[in-house]
Amino acid sequence: MFENEKKINNLFLYWLYSSLILVFSIIIVGGLTRLTNSGLSITEWELFKGILPPLDQKTWIDYFNHYKKIPQFNLLNPTMDLNEFKVIFYWEYFHRILARLIGLFFLIPLLFFFISKKVKKNYLDTCFVIFFLILLQGVMGWYMVMSGLVDDVTVSHYRLSVHLTLAFIIISAIFWLIKNFKNKKEVVFFSYNKKKIPFLILIFIIFIQIIFGAFVSGLDAGQIYQTWPLMGDNFIPNDLIIDEIHNAIDFNNQSLVQFYHRNLAYFIILYTCYLSFYIYKNKILKLFLPLKIIFIALLLQISLGIFTLISNLNILLASAHQISSVILLICAINLYYYRAN
């Protein structure tokens, strides 16, 4: 009996690791789908219908004709031929297939673990919340696509930021659950403790930076100023005028969004340095290694952001920049977990 329970617990942990990898993968594919402007290539929801790609010329032409009806084709890609369309179609197709796979891969084993009653209820309750977030993520994905089918050549950067943030919340929740399960603990993420607050603030700031990163991507704001450390010839760009409060929160302004994204990165560096001082001053030995890891991730993230910018938004560098943001967030959560533990 004990041996069977141990096997199920091991299986549960491997399932969580696999789910983490799948969500990490879809963040990468989703980022590349956005970077290649492929997200609007499939103009229908197709929850069940689009499992297989087009298998004949007629179906390909039907998909292409649907794409020709939206503003992105008419305004940006009027000379696109069918072969060029297939490239952007497959990016969105694989994104959607991976999303379906994640949903099924998470649901079916979850039902098995629930029926087996060998895994603690609190862990399973967290899994059901994660599954709800996965479903919500899928709905949000289509809601995002809808915003680019009628009046615009791209999706709403606000909806894009929600879609991306949900993905980061899901991967964060899975990682936290893995930490708890491996350590046989039930550390609560949101619990008031003065010693935990500074580390929770770091995670909050990184999430804000992720939102601004989505704004930059959704608005193509990275194309406005591709110089560093200055934006053009100045720290504050010439076209940025903040004379009233509403101008300071105009997140449709490409220059403003890029300005905030840059300076929030600087603030994260300074705040991490403050945490380092706090940790070393108080000799919190268990945080020394997680802190070193987060500094490596932060250095990688900042460097990739700069190189992406000055490389004229090289797609591979831009994708690596997004990937490193996932790594940075996981490292920050890891640091927080050891403090909360």
Each of the 341 residues of the chain gets a pLDDT tens digit; together they read 456 778 888 999 999 999 999 999 999 999 999 999 999 999 988 877 878 899 999 999 999 999 999 999 999 999 999 999 999 999 999 999 999 999 999 999 999 999 988 889 999 999 999 999 999 999 999 999 999 988 888 899 999 999 999 999 999 999 999 999 999 988 889 887 888 999 999 999 999 999 999 999 999 999 899 999 999 889 999 888 877 787 888 999 999 999 999 999 999 999 999 999 999 999 999 999 999 999 999 999 999 999 999 999 899 999 999 999 999 999 999 999 999 88
Under 8 Å between Cβ of 318 and 308:
yes
Q: What is the Cα gyration radius of the chain?
A: 22
Instruction: Return the structure tokens found at 136.
Output: 């919500």
The residues with which 231 forms a beta bridge, in sequence order, are: 234
| DSSP assignment letter at 223 | G
Residue 270, number of CB atoms within 10 A of its CB = 9
Instruction: Return the structure tokens found at 221.
Output: 């704001």
Between CA 170 and CA 24 the distance in angstroms is 10
Tell me what pLDDT residue 6 has: 83
Helix (H, G, I), strand (E, B) or coil at 231: strand
Between CA 240 and CA 244 the distance in angstroms is 12
**Sequence-ordered list of residues with C-beta below 8 angstroms from that of 160, at least 6 positions apart, any chain:** 34, 144, 214, 217, 218
Q: Which single residue is written with the structure tokens 């997680």?
A: 290
Tell me what pLDDT residue 3 has: 65
Instruction: Return the structure tokens found at 304.
Output: 């990739």
Under 8 Å between Cβ of 330 and 46:
no
Tell me what pLDDT residue 2 has: 58
Domain ranges of the chain: 1-174, 187-341
The residues with which 234 forms a beta bridge, in sequence order, are: 231
Between CA 332 and CA 196 the distance in angstroms is 12
In order of 12, 46, 66, 150, 215, the CA distances from 156 in angstroms are: 37, 21, 20, 11, 9
Identity of the residue numbered 321: H
Q: Give me the phi and psi of 234, to 5 degrees please.
A: -135, 160
Instruction: Return the structure tokens found at 108.
Output: 């079916």
